[in-house]
Amino acid sequence: MNKVKFAFLSIVGIMTIINNAFAAGTPAGTVVSSRSKVVYTTASGAVSDTLFSNTVSFTVAQIAAVNRTPAANSSTTSSDSVNVDYALTITNSGNGADNFNLTKNSSKGFTVTFYHDANGNGILEAGEIAAGAITATGSLLEDSSYKIMVRIFVPHNPSLNGQSDSTTVTATSVFDNTKTASSTFITTVNTVNFSNIGSGLTVNNANPSAGQNVTYTFTFTNNGAVPATGVSISDILSGMTYVSSTTTAGTVNSAGNPVLFNIGTINPGGSVTVTITLAIPSGASMGMVYNNTMNVTYTAGSNTFTSSSNTRSVTVGATHGVAINPVSIASTHEPEDSIKYYFTLKNTGNVKDVLLMSYGSSQSLTWKFYKDVNNNGIYDINDSQLAVTDSVNFSDSLHVIAIAITPAVGTDLTQDVTTFTVTSKGDNTKVQNSVATTTIDIAVISLAKVVAPIGNEPPGTQMTYTVNYTNTGHGKAYNFKIIDGAPDSTTYVPNSTTLNGTAMTDAADADAVTVTNGGKTITVIIGTVPASGTGIVAFKITVN
């Protein structure tokens, strides 16, 4: 009885040894068979016999299992917008052929891609990238491995500086999806971080007037962990004109359009400030908007980036301005002349304005203003009297005629100096003057009379009167006539009157002389005596 029990236990031990012969367990599908053997003898032990039981068989089932190496890894970048590669080995530690699906989860949402590391060197090569990304290992026999390269792309985002991404890669058995193995890869980002680049641009005046200067200031700091090299700043001018610029680092490389600043290297913690002064166009209309944005180009690690500042806008405010043309004018007139001066008034501002017209006259002349409606430069019936104000659109002009009458009396060559002033009603500090100088030419007449012979003459003597007239002024004498005649105790000698040596008849005819009242009245009509004009009238009388 004891022998039989011993024999059976021995068989069970043999089966156990067979099961432990496989590192991943007995291969799936293995058939295990066994039977029992009994040996016995007669009582004397002389006769023996052997007996076998029936054969019992069973098949080994498949068990899924997966392993990965390494369980964790980490890396630190020297920039953003870079790929970080990790080597990973997936091993089928089950007891049958299996496929393993690959999944990933990035805490920062980074892009994670798997490639087959075909040569198993732990380096992702161009050919392996060209072969395409994978999502599974393909079929693996028990105890076999599959080499993978995990590529994690760190996007361009300066705010990632100093932050870490945790990416978990999981291999899942296709045969039994409850069997998984995961590796964790920690990627710490060190890069350039211009944290205030998007808010670093300011402007000193958001509502400038047309023609005014504005100054932009741009400051930014490298709050990252690595230097920014090859830093440059460009500013494309949109409608404004360059005036000047400065920088706290580097140089102003170009003062054209765009304006370029070569800064160089900004180490962690370093900052730079640039300023640029620009002129708003003098003809800019109110409400016109000018935008300005600066672009910063820099290199971090092996990558070159361009980032834009915030945009600062300026809106042109109301600008008032006036002009008058001509700014000086002169003319010469005689008494009672109508003086006419023609002006063009222009609204040089950028808003509709009322132009105020005023004057000051040194001779107290009274001026009236008329609008030259048809702009023909001639005062005519269509021209209406202008009030002291008139509304003019920006950039438009108003044509004005100023009219005054020269005084009837005065001194020859008297000058009136009138200052005509145009003023913006919107801004009474905006004025411009035009000075008109009017010289008044007045006739200055001298009259001299002589008689010959001169002395004590007896009755019956014939005497000659000579009258000399001269205009020593600069104006004309109009309707000039000399009235004379034979004095008492004398008798006029008929037809003896001469003008400038030419004999005249006494009759009221076409010549200049008419004699009436028996010679007592002699009228000589000269007409107009010009400046520097002279003449001689002579006639004869007889002493009674």
Q: Is residue 77 part of a domain?
A: yes
- Kindly tell me if the per-residue pLDDT of 370 is higher than 80: yes
Minimum mean pLDDT range among 337-341, 372-376, 428-432: 372-376
pLDDT computed for residue 377 by the predictor: 83
Please indicate, yes or no, if residue 280 is contained in any of the structural domains: yes
Q: Tell me if 420 sits within 8 A of 359, measured CB to CB.
A: yes
Confidence class for position 391, pLDDT limits 50, 70, 90: low
Residue 193 lies in a domain: no
User: Do residues 327 and 394 share a domain?
Assistant: yes
* Residue 453 pLDDT > 50: yes
Regarding whether 129 and 114 lie in a shared domain, the answer is: yes
pLDDT of residue 22: 36
| Better-scored residue on pLDDT, 349 or 94 | 94
Please state the domain count of the chain.
Answer: 5
pLDDT at 390: 59
Q: What is the mean pLDDT of residues 415-443?
A: 95
> Same domain, yes or no, for 157 and 252?
no
CATH number of residue 403's parent domain: 2.60.40.2310
Do 207 and 230 fall within a single domain?
yes
Q: Are residues 330 and 298 in the same domain?
A: no
Contact 150, 118 (CB under 8 A): no
- pLDDT at residue 4 above 50? no
In this prediction, residues 529-539 reach a mean pLDDT of 96
The residues, any chain, with a CB within 8 Å of residue 429's CB and separated by 6 or more, are none
Residue 133, in any domain of the structure: yes
On whether both 436 and 449 belong to a single domain, the answer is no
Confidence of residue 394 (pLDDT cuts 50, 70, 90): low
| Boundary (domain end) residue, out of 440, 471, 493 | 440
Q: Is 135 in the same domain as 83? A: yes
| Residue 196 falls inside a structural domain | no
Distance CA 210, CA 207 (A): 10
Residue 347 belongs to a domain: yes
pLDDT above 90 covers a percentage of the chain that reads 76
Judge if 425 and 327 occupy the same domain.
yes
State whether 217 and 252 are in the same domain.
Answer: yes
Alpha-helical regions (H) of 454-501 = none
Among 43, 59, 75, the domain boundary falls at 59
Residue whose tokens read 């001299």 = 448
Q: Give the residue-averaged pLDDT of 265-289.
A: 94
Residue 34's domain comprises 2-59
pLDDT in tens, 8-27: 333 333 333 333 333 467 88
In a domain, 275, yes or no: yes
- Please tell me the predicted confidence (pLDDT) of residue 352: 86
CB crowding 491-512: b at 16 or more within 10 Å, else e: ebbeebbbbeeeebebeeeebb
Last residue in a domain, options 392, 422, 440: 440
Is residue 465's pLDDT more than 50? yes
- What average pLDDT does the segment 514-525 reach? 96
Residues 433 and 491 reside in one and the same domain: no
429 pLDDT above the threshold of 90 = yes
Say if CB 514 and CB 505 are below 8 A apart: no
**What is the CATH classification number for the domain harbouring 470?**
2.60.40.740
214 and 302 together in one domain: yes
* The pLDDT value given to residue 16: 34
The mean-pLDDT minimum among 119-123, 249-253, 290-294, 528-532 falls in 249-253
Residue 230 has pLDDT above 80, yes or no: yes
Confidence check: pLDDT of 69 > 80: yes
Q: What is the model's pLDDT at position 343? A: 93
Q: Is residue 194 part of a domain?
A: no
Residues 183 and 143 in one domain: yes
Q: What is the band of 389 on the pLDDT scale with cuts at 50, 70, 90?
A: low
The CATH code of the domain that includes 79 is 2.60.40.10
Alpha carbon distance 357, 368 (integer Å): 10
